[in-house]
Chain A
C-alpha cells in the first residue's frame, strides 16, 4: 500500500464512523436540557433537605395539597377535605383515577404510610403527628386525621414547600425505615425517573409519566394547579464550570441553567435569545447566624452592637450584583412579598449605617477582645462565600479580635456542628443563604426558634420565641397568625438568634423559546417551547 492509498483508506474509515447526531431536530424539541446547581445524589426526599433532592421529589412525586400564590393550600392528589368535630377531625378524599408510575392506584393507605414516614423526618411533620391521635385510611379514597385539638393549618402543612416535603409514595416504599434510604423510585408525580440512564455527577433523566392526571383545580401558584407536562424528556445535565454552562446555553447544548452565578448572569445579559428572569418569586434569605453558647455573643448587648454596622445592601450586592431588582433591603425574618413579612422590629437595620456607633456599642456592652471566629465557605461563589467576605471586612473594621475560617462547604457543614468554645474549634458567626420557602412561616423558619440545643446550629435559648411559635401553630385565624409573626420578628430582632442580611432574588437563565415557567424554584411542569 502506498502513502496515498493509505491516506484514502484512512479517510474512508473515518467518514464511515461519522453518524448522525444522537437526537434529530424534531426529537430535540421534545427534550428539555437543564443544568442544576449541584449534583443529584440523594433519592430519598425524607433523607435530605437539600434543594436538589426536593426538586427531584417534585419531579416524580405529587402531594395531597399544593400552595397557591397566596400560600393557600389547594388540592392536588386530594379532591377535597372536610373538617368535623369542631376542627378536631379532618377527612381528606382522594381524586379518582390517580395512579403511581407502576399503574397501581394511589390509595389512602399509601398516603397514610407516606405521611407517617414524613413525620419522622420533618419537624412540621413531627409537630402535626404530636397533635394527632389517629391517622387512618377509612377506605381506598378516604383518610382521616383525628386531632387532639384543632389545627387549622393542617392542609397548608401537607402542602409545605420546605423540605422534607410530604410527598406521596406507594405504601411498600413508605414503609421503609426512615433510617434507610429508599431504592424503589415508583412515584406519584408527573415525571418518571430513568434510573438506567442516571450517571452520578453527570446526568439524571426524567420522562413524562403518561398516566399522570393533573388536578382539575383552577387555583395556580407555587405548587398548586394542574401540572401539565410538555416535554417527553427532561435531562438534568450537570455542568460544574459556570463559564462552560454559559457557553452551553449560548450554543444551544442546554436550554436552561438553574442557578447561574451573578458573573454568568452579567455575561449572558448581552445575548438576545437568553432570558434572565427571577428564579422564584420568593427571595432567598441571607442571614448571619450567631452562636449563642459562647462569649462574646452569649451577651445580648454585644449581639445588638453589631446592628448599626450591618449594611444589607452591601451583603446583597456581594451575591446578587448591583442591580437593585435582584435584592431587597430592609427585610427581616420573613421573605419580602410573603404573607407574614413586615417591618416590625427592623428599625435597627434602617437609616445610615455606622461602624463608629457599632464600635461604641461594643465597648459599652463590655467586649474585651475575646476571639471571634467567622466560619464561612470558600467554595460557594454564588451564595455564602461573598457574604462571608463582606462580613469579614465589616467585623475587621469593628476592631474585633477576628479569626476567619473560610473552608470548603463540607468542612463548614461539619464544623458548624461544634458546640465547643472558640479555642476548641468552635465558632462565633457564620453567614448563610437560605431558600425563602423555608422562612415563609414560623412553622419552618429555623432562624426563629429558641429551643436551645435542639435549635439550628447556634443553639439560642429564647423561651418567648417558642411560646409565640406554639401560639402561631394553634391560632385559628390568619390575622391572628400575622400578628403573632410580627411579634416573633420583634423578639427575634431583640434577641438576635440571627441577623437578617437582606433578601436576594436569584436569577435563572433560559432560552427565550421556553415559556410559561412556574416561578417556583426549578419545577418542570407547565414550561414549554413557545
Chain B
C-alpha cells in the first residue's frame, strides 16, 4: 500500500511539469501583460517598456520558463509581479478561507445529499422520490451566482439573519466564522448536493435489487438497518467517486462563490491574478490546484479499499 501511495505521488511530478509548461505557454501567448496593467492608462510606451524590463518580461520564453523552473526546484514559486509578495505567502493567506468554505460545503453536501438519495431510492416511484428528483433538476439548472444572490437577498437583506459578505477567521470565534460561511457553503453545495443525491439514489436502487438485501429483509432486519448498514456501504463506491470528481467542480465553484460573497480565498485570488496577468501567482495557483486534485483522486482510490475490501492495490 505504501509503495502504491509513493508511486502515485511520484507519478504526479511529470503531470505537474506538463501542467506548468502548458500554463506558462498559454500565459506567454495570451494577450495582455502585467507591465501594461501596472503602468496605467497615462503611461507611455517607454514607461511600459521600462516596467517590462524591470520585471524581466522582455526576456525570451525559454529563459523565463527556465528561471521559473529553477526556482520551483528550490520550492520557490516566485513573487507577485505587482506587490512583490511571495506567492507562497499570498496562498497561505488565502488557503484558510477556501478550505473553510470547501469543508463546510462537503460536510453539508454529504449530510444532506446522502440521506436524500437513500430516501429517494427507498421510496422509488413515490411522490417523495419525484419531489427530490424534481428539486435536483432545478438545482442543476440554476447557476451558482443566481443561487448566491437569492440566498443573500433572502437571509441578509430581508431577514437580516446573516451577513451578506466577508470572512471572519475561526480564531475570532466559531459563530462569527460560521455565520459568514453558511451562505457561501450552501450556495456552493447546491450543485454538489444534487450531484451526490442523484448518484446515491441510482447506486442504492441497484444495490437494493441485490440478493443479500432481500436476505437481510427476510431475516427481519428493519428498513433503516437494511438501508444504512447493508445497502449504503456497498452503494458507496460510486458516491465516493462522484465526490472526488465533483472536487474539481468544487474548486471551480469557489471562484464564483468567493466572488459573490467576498471570501478572500484562493478562488478569488485566481480570478484577480488572471485579470491582472500576475503570472507567478497564476502559475503557483494552477500547480497547487492540480496537485490537490491529484491527491484527492488518490485519497478517493484509497477510500475504496476501506468501503470495499475486494478492491486491492
A residues adjacent to B (C-beta < 8 A): 14, 16-22, 39, 41-43, 47-50, 53, 121, 123, 162-163, 178-181, 183, 199-203, 237-241, 243-244, 247-248, 250-251, 253, 379, 407-415, 417, 432, 434, 438, 446, 453-454, 456
Q: Are A253 and B163 in contact (CB-based, < 8 A)?
A: yes
CB < 8 Å neighbour of B44 from A162, A239, A411, A456: A456
Q: Which of B16-24, B50-58, B196-204, B210-218 contacts A (4 or more CB under 8 A)?
A: B50-58
With both beta carbons as reference points, the residue of chain B lying nearest to A407 in the complex is identified as: B31
Question: For residue A203, which residues in chain B have a CB less than 8 angstroms away from its CB?
Answer: 264
Q: Report chain A residues within 8 Å CB of B271.
A: 240
B176 to A: closest C-beta gap in Å: 6
A407→B277 CA distance, assembly (Å): 14
A21 to B169, CA, bound (A): 11
A14-B174, A17-B174 as given contacts; A200 in contact with B36, CB under 8 Å: no
Judge if B230 is at the interface, Cβ distance under 8 Å.
no
Does the CB pair A49–B41 fall under 8 Å?
A: yes
CB contacts (< 8 Å) of B259 on chain A: these are 240-241
B277 touches A410 (CB 8 A): yes
Most buried by B among A21, A43, A238, A413: A413
CB atoms of B157 and A247 under 8 A apart: yes
- Asked if A244 and B262 sit within 8 Å, CB to CB, the answer is yes
CA distance A454 to B84 in the complex (A): 30
B32–A410 touching, CB < 8 Å: yes
Shortest B52–chain A CB gap in Å is 11
Q: How far is the CB of A198 from chain B (nearest CB, A)?
A: 8
Q: Which of A21, A53, A412 sits near B176, CB closer than 8 Å?
A: A21
* 12 pairs of residues in contact across A and B, judged by CB atoms under 8 Å: A14-B175, A19-B172, A179-B50, A200-B83, A237-B166, A244-B165, A247-B153, A247-B164, A407-B31, A410-B275, A410-B277, A411-B31
Interface residue B173 (Cβ < 8 Å from any Cβ of A): yes
Give B residues with C-beta under 8 Å from A. 30-33, 36-45, 47-48, 50-51, 53-54, 80, 82-85, 90, 93, 149, 152-153, 156-157, 160, 163-166, 168, 172-176, 259-262, 264, 268-269, 271-272, 275-277
Given A18-B173, A201-B264, A201-B269, do A414 and B31 touch, yes or no (CB 8 Å)?
yes
Give CA–CA (A49, B276) in the complex, Å.
15
Q: What is the distance, in angstroms, from A412's C-beta to the closest C-beta of chain B?
A: 8
Q: Are B152 and A247 in contact (CB under 8 A)?
A: yes
Residue on B nearest A162 in the bound complex, by CB: B42
B272 and A201 form a contact (CB under 8 A): yes
Cross-interface CB contact of B173 among A19, A39, A121, cutoff 8 Å: A19
Q: Which residues of A contact B43 (CB under 8 A)?
A: 48-49
Residues of B within 8 A of A53 (CB): 40
- Out of A39, A432, A454, A456, name the residue touching B276 (CB < 8 Å): A39
> B165 — which chain A residues lie within 8 A by C-beta?
239, 244, 247-248, 253
Give the nearest-CB partner of B85 in chain A: A200
Contact yes or no, A200 B80, CB < 8 A? yes
**Pairs of residues from A and B, 7 with the lowest C-beta to C-beta distance, nearest first:** A17-B174, A19-B173, A410-B32, A49-B40, A49-B42, A202-B264, A247-B164
Contact B276–A41 (Cβ < 8 Å) = yes
Per the bound structure, the CA–CA distance linking A265 and B173 in Å amounts to: 35
Contact of A163 among B42, B90, B174 (CB under 8 A): B42
With contacts A18-B175, A244-B262, A410-B32 known, what are 8 further pairs, Cβ within 8 A? A17-B175, A49-B39, A179-B54, A201-B264, A202-B264, A240-B259, A244-B164, A417-B36
Distance to closest chain B CB from A440 (angstroms): 14
CB-based contact A42/B163 at 8 Å: no
Instruction: Report how far A413 CA is from B164 CA in the complex, Å.
Output: 33
Contact B174 A239 (CB under 8 A): no
Contact of B152 among A39, A48, A244, A453 (CB under 8 A): A244
**CB pair B268 A240 closer than 8 Å:** yes
A152–B50 Cα distance when bound, in Å, is 31
Interface SS, B side: helix
Write the chain A residue with the least CB distance to B41. A49
A180, B54: Cβ atoms closer than 8 Å: yes
Q: Are B164 and A434 in contact (CB under 8 A)?
A: no
Write out the residue numbers on chain A whose beta carbons fall within 8 Å of the beta carbon of B156.
247, 251
Q: Which listed residue, A183, A199, A238, A248, touches B84 by the CB 8 Å rule?
A: A183
**Which B residues touch A43, using CB under 8 A?**
83
Chain B neighbourhood of A240, CB < 8 A:
259, 262, 268, 271-272
Report the minimal beta-carbon distance from B152 to chain A, rounded to whole angstroms. Answer: 6
The residue that A251 contacts in the complex, of B33, B93, B164, with Cβ under 8 A, is B164
Choice from B41, B80, B85 contacting A50 with Cβ under 8 Å:
B41
- For A408, list chain B residues within 8 Å (CB): 32, 275
Give the Cβ gap from B215 to chain A, nearest Cβ, in Å. 30
The answer to whether A446 and B36 have CB atoms under 8 Å apart is no
Is B33 a contact partner of A414 (Cβ separation < 8 A)? yes
Which chain B positions have C-beta within 8 A of A243?
A: 149, 152, 260
Bound CA span A19–B272, Å: 32
Say how far A286's CB is from chain B's closest CB, in angstroms.
13
- A118 to nearest B CB, angstroms? 13
Asked if A181 and B84 make an inter-chain contact with CB atoms under 8 angstroms apart, the answer reads yes
Count chain A CB atoms within 10 A of each CB in B84, B149, B259, B262 and give the residue with the most: B262
Closest Cβ of chain A to B117, distance in Å, is 24
Contact A251 B149 (CB under 8 A): no
Q: Which one of A178, A180, A201, A247 lies within 8 Å of B268 (CB-CB)?
A: A201
Q: Are B168 and A241 in contact (CB under 8 A)?
A: no
Residues of A close to B48: CB separation below 8 A? 417
Q: Which of B30, B51, B149, B262 contacts A239 (CB 8 A)?
A: B262
Contact A47 B38 (CB under 8 A): yes
- The chain A residue sitting closest to B281, CB to CB, is A200
Q: With the chains together, A453 CA to B46 CA distance in Å?
A: 10
In the complex, are the beta carbons of B41 and A434 less than 8 A apart? yes
| One of A238, A251, A446 near B160 (C-beta < 8 A) | A251
| C-alpha spacing A147/B291, complex, angstroms | 62
B260 neighbours in A (Cβ, 8 Å): 241, 243-244
CA distance in complex: A404, B276 (Å): 23
Query: Using Cβ atoms and an 8 Å threshold, which residues of chain B touch A41?
Result: 38, 80, 82-83, 276
Residues of B within 8 A of A121 (CB): 47
In the complex, what residue of chain B is closest to A180 when comparing beta carbons? B54
Closest to B39 in A: A48
Contacts of A379 in B (CB 8 A): 275
Cα distance A239–B258 in the bound complex, in angstroms: 10
Instruction: Kindly report which residue of chain A lies nearest to residue B153, judged by CB atoms.
Output: A247
**Residues on the A chain within 8 Å of B38, using CB:** 41-42, 47-48
CB-CB under 8 A for A410 and B36, given A247-B164, A251-B157: yes
Residue of A16, A53, A121, A251 with most partner-chain B CB within 10 A: A251
Interface centre among B53, B93, B164 (most CB of A within 10 A): B164
Residues of the B chain whose Cβ atoms lie less than 8 Å from the Cβ of A413 = 32, 36-37, 41
- B144 CB → nearest A CB, Å: 12
**B44 partner residues in chain A, CB cutoff 8 A:** 123, 454, 456
Which A residues lie within 8 Å of B42 (CB)? 49, 162-163, 438, 446, 456
* Most central of B37, B48, B80 by chain A CB within 10 Å: B37
